[in-house]
Structure 1
Amino acid sequence: MRINPSLQQLSAFLRLARAGSFSEAARQSGVSQPALSRMVQQMEEAIGARLFDRTTRSVALTPAGQDLLPIAERLVAEFDRSFSELARFIEGRRGRVAVAALPSIAAVLLPPAIARYRQGHAEVEVAVLDGLSGSVLDAVTEGRADIGLTIRPGPQTVLSYRPLVSDEFGLVCRPGEALAGEDSPLPWSVFEGRPFVAMAPGSSVRQMTDAAFLQAGLAIPPLYGCAFLGTTGHLVASGLGITALPRLTMPLLGRIDLVWRRLERPVMRRQIGVVTQPRRSLSPAAQAFLAVLEEQARMQG
């Protein structure tokens, strides 16, 4: 025997069982007494048992009704709880947001954005996947990240991209270097004849410095090829060379004394943007996070 009452019928049953009268239960339900009576009758027919003993002034549960009562309470409560959870998800107050980002963005832009976001979305889990540009794109493409923060991908990508923040390149050296005292922007030709501490091939920084040297018509041999910005900073701080880095990467170099000076001819700016899957809708929580992130990027310039 398959019993399949509707949620409306279960709710009507509960109101009548609690109120003890058709008039009060109908008032609480916002329906007429005949309409409530029909719902209860339809439910009794669906179940195949009488649920209420009726008198002229009141109703009382039959043994079948008493057995149904905890079942109906559990089902209606679970329905209400589930759709309350769904409403919180749709409002962006529940869920998970995974953000893949370049290490400099993960360290500089994301912390204040996450702090502001959590003020209104404390129950949303935010996961940060930091890595080089290729791994950021892979994370978004494979669905491990909702949002990626990296340089503009190549024309072969299937991902959507929109600019977020511009990160200018500058020369990085020790304070005691003669170049450190220059107030005017320096040309990229200053790297000629000086050891150049380079980032690893494949990193967004290395791609940009290689492009800058090519535009300037320079052949600067890269040294070391560091995978981590902290390593680059310590090599420069140890007097093993100078380097060129975007301004947003400076906090990642650690607590070492280094100087950043603007570079020109050419002026190089790393355009950091948001990458997403064009055919995959962002969750409400991810949409809300993206709005906070974009506002934070405007605030940080």
Structure 2
Amino acid sequence: MDINLSLRHLRAFVAVADCGGYSAASRQVNLAQSALSRTIKEIEDELAVSLFDRTTRRVSLTAAGEQLLLNAREAIASFDGAFLRFQHYREGLSGTVSLAALSSVASILLPPVIFEFQSLRPNVRVSLEDGFAGEVVDSVMQGRVDFGITSLPRKKGRLICEKIAADTLTCICSSRHRFASKRSIEWRDIEGEDFVSFALSSSIFEVVEQGLRSADVSLGNITKARDIGTVAGLVSSDLGISVVPSLVLPMMQFCEYRGMPLSNPVVERNIYLIYDPETPMPPASTFLMDLLRRGPRSKFKIPNGVRWIDYPDGSCQANSN
């Protein structure tokens, strides 16, 4: 059976039942007493029952009224609860944030930021996937995540890229290497050295290649590896030196190695917040992105050689491939 009643009807009915009369109920629901009486009559006509036993001093519920009161309270509570949950979502207080990030960012840069975020938004679930730079870009472009954090993508399409951090390239070697006693080295010092390189699929490969080209340095034997841990293991076994961003050094501490600042030139790897402006962004995700943009003014702990970049100075809309 189709019942043509609204929440307005139910709220009016509950008010009369709770107040025990029309006068007090009309003040509670902000309706004239005559309008409230018509509303109750509409309910009774629609349901073909009498809801109240009326006397000159008070109204009391009939058996049908008692049953309807239970149902009306349940319906109102369900409706109010649903819209409260929506309000929390709209204010970024609930929902899910999904993001993808470089492994070094996900393990070193993001944890204190996410901890702060969840202390402010305890009812929001954070879903984080890590990967290589191209994988992060693909996840954002295909809509699998709300936003990503990566080095500057080779193919940006319509993505917006905002530079939020940078880390300096550092030379690492085994504790037995002749560089181990040095406090710093220059790019020209690694001429002819055996070298442990990141694979082409890694964002680190490209930025290190830029440094080598700018210093016009040629290397000796080159061993390539995809994983940060593999590079660390090969270097600590004295199979070559390597050049890595400062952000990955904490991920190599299981191995014995020496790290030295690398200069002439000083080379940085830029870290970008990327997102698709045409994809709707959950409010909670916007809040987390704003926390990242406020990195320079935060107390988030970051490794030596890594720096936050003040927003919006580092922002750029990158719409070309």
Tell me the TM-score normalised to structure 1 length. 0.92
CA distance in 1, matches of 2:221, 2:46: 80
Aligned residue in 1 for 2:79: 79
Return the alpha-carbon distance in structure 1 between the equivalents of residues 9 and 220 of structure 2.
Answer: 79
1:132 counterpart residue number? 132
When the two structures are aligned, how many residues end up with a matched partner? 300
Whether the aligned pair in 2 keeps the contact of 1:112 and 1:296 (CA below 8 Å) is: no
Match of 2:168 in 1: 168
Deviation for aligned residue 1:297: 5.7
Q: Tell me whether 63-72 or 191-200 shows the greater mean CA deviation.
A: 63-72
Q: Is the 8 A contact 2:177 2:238 kept in 1?
A: no
Runs (4+) of structure 1 exceeding 4 A deviation are none
Q: Which amino acid aligns with 2:18?
A: R
The CA distance in 2 between the partners of 1:140 and 1:205, in whole Å, is 20
Alpha-carbon spacing, 1:47–1:177, altered in 2? closer, same or farther (3 Å): same
- The root-mean-square deviation of aligned C-alpha atoms, in Å, is 2.0
Pick which of 251-260 and 126-135 moved more.
251-260
CA shift, 1:218, in A, is 3.3
In 1, the alpha carbon distance for the partners of 2:295 and 2:221 equals: 35
Who is 2:315 aligned against?
none
User: Does residue 55 of structure 1 match 2:55?
Assistant: yes
Q: Distance in 2 between matches of 1:245 and 1:28?
A: 68
Which sections of structure 2, spanning at least 5 residues, go unmatched? 308-321
- Write the distance in 1 (CA, Å) between the matches of 2:263 and 2:47: 82
Instruction: Give the corresponding residue for 1:234.
Output: 233
Q: Is the 8 A contact 1:198 1:222 kept in 2?
A: no
* Cα distance change on mapping 1:221 and 1:41 into 2, 3 Å: farther
Within 1, Cα distance between the matches of 2:276 and 2:47? 49
Structure 1: gaps spanning 5 or more residues: none
Identity over the aligned pairs, expressed in percent? Answer: 34
Residue 241 of structure 1 deviates from its aligned partner by 0.7
Deviation of the 1:45 alpha carbon? 3.5
Q: Give, in angstroms, the shift of residue 47 of structure 1.
A: 3.3
Measured in 1, the distance between the counterparts of 2:24 and 2:272 equals: 60
Structure 2 CA distance, aligned partners of 1:3 and 1:236?
Answer: 76
Q: Is the 8 A contact 2:52 2:62 kept in 1?
A: yes
Quick one: distance in 2 between partners of 1:31 and 1:225?
78
- Given the alignment of the two structures, is residue 255 of structure 1 paired with residue 254 of structure 2, yes or no? yes
Q: CA deviation at 1:209?
A: 1.4
CA distance in 2 between partners of 1:157 and 1:264 (Å): 34
**Which residue of 2 is the match for residue 210 of structure 1?**
209
- 8 Å CA contact 2:133–2:203 kept in 1: the answer is yes
Counterpart residue number, 1:274: 273
Q: CA deviation at 1:168?
A: 1.0
One-letter identity of the residue aligned with 1:21: G
Give the secondary-structure state (helix, strand or coil) at the position aligned to 2:240. coil
Matched, 1:223 2:199: no
Mark the CA change 1:123 to 1:282 in structure 2 (over 3 Å): closer, same or farther: same
In 2: Cα distance, 1:70 partner to 1:294 partner: 50
What is residue 26 of structure 1 aligned with on the other side?
Answer: 26
Q: Could you tell me which residue of structure 1 aligns to residue 317 of structure 2? A: none
Out of 74-83 and 256-265, give the one that drifted further. Answer: 256-265
Q: How far, CA to CA, are the matches of 2:262 and 2:180 in structure 1?
A: 12
* Whole-angstrom distance in 1 between the partners of 2:34 and 2:181: 90
Deviations 1:239-292 (A, max 9, x none): 111000000110111322322222234332111010111112321211111222
Distance 1:181 1:298, change over 3 A: farther
Q: Which amino acid is the alignment partner of residue 60 of structure 2?
A: A
Match of 1:106 in 2: 106
| Matched residue, 2:44 | 44
TM-score, with length taken from structure 2 = 0.86
Q: Which whole-Å CA distance do the structure 2 matches of 1:222 and 1:133 have between them?
A: 26
Q: Which residue of 1 aligns with 2:291?
A: 292
Tell me the distance in 2 between the aligned counterparts of 1:256 and 1:155.
35
Contact 1:170 1:246 in 2 (8 A): yes
Per the TM alignment, residue 64 of structure 1 is displaced from its structure 2 partner at its CA by 3.4
Residue identity matched to 1:5: L
What amino acid does structure 1 have at the position aligned with 2:240? G
> Given residue 170 of structure 1, which amino acid in structure 2 is its aligned partner?
T
